[in-house]
């Protein structure tokens, strides 16, 4: 593809599109053709770059667009991502667009992770996608804040994780929905913690933990399930310093789980939010002989 540096005296009004493997070098050339463009979002560039590096880039109708004079109208974030990833990708390149279309480019609704999971036929799509996202964050960056560009999880990552274990994700969201009615934590926090702790338990052994949390019946005063049930629902209102976030809620749940699985290692159970230097607890694996 050739783009003339000088403005054409007779602009070509015919729209032409073609699939081109855009290399980092070609991306630099394309970006040099930008005159007016939207402000660069570093977080979006990083997200696209990581998508390319992970091999998740897919050829779609969204690509690069030039007007009839060869000026770049759309695609600067994709081009910067190619440069940052130092990896060529295929995309559709459009030439001959009217200059007037710039104001309406990329104004549609962004596809959410829940939208991506719609074809699975699952219920509670928002909770399911949020649970999967937080499982991924727990496994990849447990001791870092789950916010900002560093905590972005792509729709492809969420769908791939779902496909690896759909039954357990579905069950965790269902259990989390019920347990959150009896606990202080949010539906998402409980669903995520359920998934992570059932991952550490043999099949069938988790029922005692779940049933105890649901009913609280017959639990002695030292039972970690009772302690978790008694964490006040208004705990977030009791501190003016910092709102309890998802990591805090999950940490409290996992601390209780660990104390239930291995009371000797738990010591005196203190269910509180994470301190600044405290690491996220890892679920203790429940042994097969557990009773």
Return the sign of the alpha-carbon dihedral for residues 243, 144, 247, 50: positive
Task: Give the CATH fold of the 16-99 domain.
Answer: 3.90.1530
- Are 180 and 186 contacting, i.e. CB atoms less than 8 angstroms apart? yes
DSSP string spanning 22-64? Answer: E-HHHHHHHHTTBSS-PPP-HHHHHHHHHHHHTT-----S--E
Q: Which pLDDT score, from 0 to 100, does residue 44 have?
A: 82
Residue 150 confidence class, pLDDT cut points 50, 70, 90: confident
Residue 267 confidence class, pLDDT cut points 50, 70, 90: low
- The pLDDT tens digits of the residues spanning 24-66 come to 999 999 999 887 556 678 888 888 998 899 898 988 888 898 8
* Phi, psi dihedral angles at 196 (to 5 degrees): -70, -35
Q: Is 239 exposed, middle or buried (0-12, 13-18, 19+ CB in 10 A)?
A: exposed
pLDDT at 12 over 90: no
Q: Which pLDDT score, from 0 to 100, does residue 15 have?
A: 80
**For the chain, percent of residues with pLDDT exceeding 70:** 82
Distance CA 175, CA 178 (A): 5
- Are 69 and 40 contacting, i.e. CB atoms less than 8 angstroms apart? no
Cβ-proximal residues to 275 (8 Å cutoff; 6+ apart), any chain: none
Domain ranges for the chain, please list them: 16-99, 113-266
Distance CA 73, CA 88 (A): 20
- Output the CA–CA distances (angstroms, integers) from residue 267 to 107, 218, 259, in the order listed: 55, 22, 8
pLDDT at 132 over 80: yes
Residue 277 CB coordination number (10 Å): 6
- The pLDDT tens digits of the residues spanning 15-26 come to 888 999 999 999
Distance CA 211, CA 75 (A): 53
Which ranges of the chain would DSSP assign to H, the alpha helix?
24-31, 42-53, 76-85, 113-116, 125-140, 155-164, 166-179, 187-198, 207-215, 224-229, 246-261, 263-266
């Amino acid at each position: 593809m050739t783009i003339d540096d000088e403005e054409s005296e007779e602009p070509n009004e015919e729209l032409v599109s073609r699939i081109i493997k855009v290399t980092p070098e070609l991306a630099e050339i394309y970006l040099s053709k930008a005159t007016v463009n939207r402000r660069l979002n570093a977080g979006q560039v990083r997200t696209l770059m990581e998508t390319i590096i992970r091999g998740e880039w897919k050829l779609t109708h969204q690509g690069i667009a030039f007007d009839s004079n060869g000026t770049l109208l759309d695609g600067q974030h994709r081009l910067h991502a190619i440069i940052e990833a130092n990896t060529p990708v295929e995309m559709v390149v459009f030439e001959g667009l009217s200059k007037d279309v710039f104001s309406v480019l990329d104004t549609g609704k962004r596809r959410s992770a829940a939208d991506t999971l719609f074809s699975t036929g699952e219920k509670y799509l928002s909770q399911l996608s949020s649970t999967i996202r937080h499982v991924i964050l727990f496994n990849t960056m447990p001791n870092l804040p789950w916010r900002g560009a560093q905590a972005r999880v792509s729709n492809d990552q969420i769908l791939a994780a779902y496909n690896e274990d759909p039954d357990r994700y579905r069950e965790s969201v269902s259990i989390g929905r019920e347990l959150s009615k009896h606990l202080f934590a949010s539906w998402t926090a409980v669903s995520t913690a359920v998934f992570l702790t059932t991952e550490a338990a043999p099949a069938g052994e988790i029922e005692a933990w779940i049933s105890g949390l649901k009913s609280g019946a017959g639990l002695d005063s030292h039972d970690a399930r009772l302690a978790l049930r008694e964490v006040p629902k208004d705990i977030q209102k009791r501190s003016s310093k910092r709102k309890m976030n998802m990591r805090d809620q999950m940490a409290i749940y996992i601390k209780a789980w660990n104390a239930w699985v291995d009371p000797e290692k738990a010591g005196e159970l203190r269910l509180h939010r994470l301190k600044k230097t405290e690491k996220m607890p890892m679920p203790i694996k429940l042994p097969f002989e557990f009773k």
